[in-house]
Amino acid sequence: MDCIFCKIVSNEIPSVKVYEDDRVFAFMDINPLNDGHILIIPKAHAATIYEITEADFLAVTSATHKLAAAVKKALNPDGINLMQLNGRAANQVVPHLHIHIVPRWSGDGLTICKWEMVAGDIEKVKAVAEQIQTVLK
């Protein structure tokens, strides 16, 4: 497999490891958006949320919870961004599921996600909700 994150997990490529358990590996992003930028990945390859097993996703989110608390205690940021991108349209660069923890400080200049709050068409919102609910049944 030619997945850079799988190569990191197998120690073919060096990383600055922060955390590891039987299902999860977490390491510092080498292109950090801010100090303390961490990536949390499943050890088993899954390109996106659509491919990952529920057990592996739960392990990744549990580790994210633990690491977010550690970042808060160690760095005392004013906030954090958690990001999990799926597919090129969502700006996913590495096709291996990962969650970013990005510590944030007031005035840090980052504009990770910005949109205007504009009310949607409530009938369309309801119709889309019904489409999703139908699939869940």
| Residue tagged active-site, from 37, 96, 98, 100 | 98
Integer Cα distance of 109 and 53 in angstroms: 36
Q: Are 18 and 26 spatial neighbours (Cβ–Cβ below 8 Å)?
A: yes
The structure tokens listed for 24 are 């999860």
Q: 69 φ, ψ to 5°?
A: -65, -40
Is 98 labeled as catalytic in the residue annotation? yes
d(Cα 59, Cα 84) in Å, to the nearest integer?
14
Please give the radius of gyration of the chain, using alpha carbons only, rounded to the nearest integer: 17
Q: Is the dihedral of CA 112, 116, 117, 118 positive or negative?
A: negative
* Among 112, 115, 39, 111, CA closest to 71: 39
Which residues are designated catalytic? 98
